[in-house]
Amino acid sequence: MLPTPHPLFNSFCQPSSTFILVIAFIAVLMNGCGTSGTSGPHLSGNTEVTVMLTSTGNDQLQSFQIGLSSITLTSQSGKTVNLLTTSTAAEFMHINGGAEPLVTVSIPQDVYTAAASPNLSTEFECATFVPPNTIDTNTIGDPFGGPNATISFPSPITITGESMFLSLNLQVSKSVTLSSCYNPNGPVQWTFTPTFTLTPLTLSAQPTNPENGEVSGVHGEITSIDTANGGFTISLSVEEGFRTLSNSSNTATVYQGISDFAALSVGTFVDMDGAAQPDGTLLATRIAVEDTGAVNVITGPVELVNGQVPVLNMLLREEEGASFSNQEILGGGFPFNFSNATFQISGQLANLQNLPFTPSFNASNIIDGQNIYLSAPAIPTGGPPLDARTITLIPQTIDGTVSATNNAGSFAVYTVTLAPYDLFPDLTVAPNQQSYLINPNQVEVYVDSNTQMLNSTPVTVGNTLRFYGLIFNDGGTLQMDCAQINDGVAE
């Protein structure tokens, strides 16, 4: 029942010039005579909803793939809608702190209070050094189905307007418990309890970070091109169910490795950044082609650089190309001869020339733990190493604790201490390395005005945060050009 109106308010409903002076007060009340007011937006029709994926994790796992069959929303009145129309998959460690579109679907406007995703399959991977001379890679999970997901809402979500974005965030450390990566006495003990949060995401007209619509480091193969309108579609990796993303370009799009849009063709592999659009597509802000003749592309951390022969092994997060058209190749330790490979640095960060050290990535300073984008004519499944064509250093996320602070020119410099299971301190102590690090458990992180500060925890000594950027081996010292800082995850 509405409260009894104040007598003065009732008197305002009588037509009298006496009360002309208080007409502004009536407008502020926003209720005409005999009305009951409004309680929120009018919910009618449908809204185009885009689900963006992200994750929050430490460095214990190197890949984390989940199979998704459905994601249902339940309204406050008990009605349900499905955000997925077909089953798909997603790899979450390459978007730790980042963002990537999953699906765009039209659903009824309503207030939604719960979500569910049943029977999730999973596959996750870790790697560790086993003394005296072995690096063990463990691929764990159940690809045939598993538990239902827990999807928490910080508050009810009102779906309204022509379009909306939702951020589906996998809480990695809450989703997996792992006794260790290697157990000499038997199987590794683990549990999988998939845990997500779902929150609205507000787009910016010119996004600057994943929280307002920027999408960085998307890797895919072009499957169609609309030459007249500057549009193209890419297919993502096998780990992501070969999902497709629709994209556009404009005169502001930056091209790297090619001259312009006309140099793109079906079958080209791209590394791109984009701005999410209201319809769920991406407007490409950067399109890089690291190898114009690529047949297969894989991304992931370096597992081992053998100092006796020019061969590196790597762990796989994303697999694209002819070798993966029908299946995913599981596990790690894939060897590549890099004696004739072209080494290069991703153009995703534009401030390399301003760093107080000389950023370098080549055949003599590549080190275990660095995140790379590698192209090859085939993928080794046994036998001798195959030749790598190009090896590109790409950004990565590390989770660590600030142990010291300093300054160098226009950069703040943070010494970040890594957990023992991080690949840098864990793997780079193995024998037969090409080079060794002075302090393998530390990274010097360089932060300038370009760095996106998405952290609520201060960057001070003792605090754990996640840092995203390019990591260089600078004469035995790990140095990061940092593009983004997020709150950390307990180690």
Whether 209 is in a domain gets the answer no
| Number of structural domains the chain divides into | 5
Whether 39 is in a domain gets the answer no
> Which of 201, 236, 263 is the C-terminal boundary of a domain?
201
Q: Are residues 195 and 124 in the same domain?
A: yes
Q: Are residues 408 and 451 in the same domain?
A: yes
Write the DSSP assignment of 422-461 as a string of letters: SHHHHHTTSTTBSS--SSTTEEEEEE-TTSEE--SS---T
Q: Are residues 51 and 175 in the same domain?
A: yes
pLDDT for position 24? 39
What residue has token string 């963006």?
52
What residue has token string 């997500």?
196
Helix (H) or strand (E) holding 80: strand 80-82
What residue has token string 């007209």?
205
Whether 175 is in a domain gets the answer yes
Q: Are residues 361 and 425 in the same domain?
A: no
CA distances for 4 relative to 1, 13, 34, 38, 379, angstroms? 9, 15, 12, 17, 76
Whether 208 is in a domain gets the answer no
Q: Are residues 78 and 139 in the same domain?
A: yes
Q: Are residues 65 and 161 in the same domain?
A: yes
Q: Are residues 386 and 436 in the same domain?
A: no
CA torsion sign for 301, 455, 195, 69 is negative
Whether 291 is in a domain gets the answer no
- The CATH number that applies at residue 413 is 2.40.50.140
For residue 318, the number of C-alpha atoms closer than 13 Å in the C-beta half-sphere is: 29
Whether 108 is in a domain gets the answer yes
Q: Are residues 356 and 326 in the same domain?
A: yes
Whole-structure pTM value: 0.90
pLDDT for position 123? 92
DSSP 8-state class, residue 205: S
Query: Residue 188: helix, strand or coil by DSSP?
Result: coil
Query: Residue 410: helix, strand or coil by DSSP?
Result: coil
pLDDT for position 332? 62
Q: Are residues 78 and 172 in the same domain?
A: yes
Beta bridge partners of 138: 126
Q: Are residues 273 and 419 in the same domain?
A: no
Residue 181 CA to residue 460 CA, distance in Å, equals: 31
Angle value at C-alpha 200, between 91 and 273, nearest 5 degrees: 50
pLDDT for position 333? 63
Does residue 207 have a cis bond before it (omega within 30 degrees)? no
Q: Are residues 113 and 189 in the same domain?
A: yes
Whether 377 is in a domain gets the answer yes
pLDDT for position 16? 39
Whether 40 is in a domain gets the answer no
Q: Taking the C-alpha atoms of 389, 395, 398 and 402 in order, what is their torsion angle to the nearest 10 degrees?
A: 130
User: In the structure encoding, which two tokens stand for residue 247, read together?
Assistant: 């994209």
- The CATH number that applies at residue 228 is 2.40.50.320
Residue 339 CA to residue 83 CA, distance in Å, equals: 47
> Which of 154, 178, 201 is the C-terminal boundary of a domain?
201
> Which of 286, 312, 339 is the C-terminal boundary of a domain?
286
Q: Are residues 351 and 408 in the same domain?
A: no
Range of the domain at 232: 214-286
Closest CA to 276 of 52, 10, 43: 52
Question: Per residue in 283-296, is it b (16+ CB within 10 Å) or e — as a string?
Answer: bbbbbbbbbeebbb
Which residue numbers in the chain have pLDDT < 50? 1-38
Residue 104 CA to residue 270 CA, distance in Å, equals: 22
Closest CA to 31 of 1, 7, 10: 10
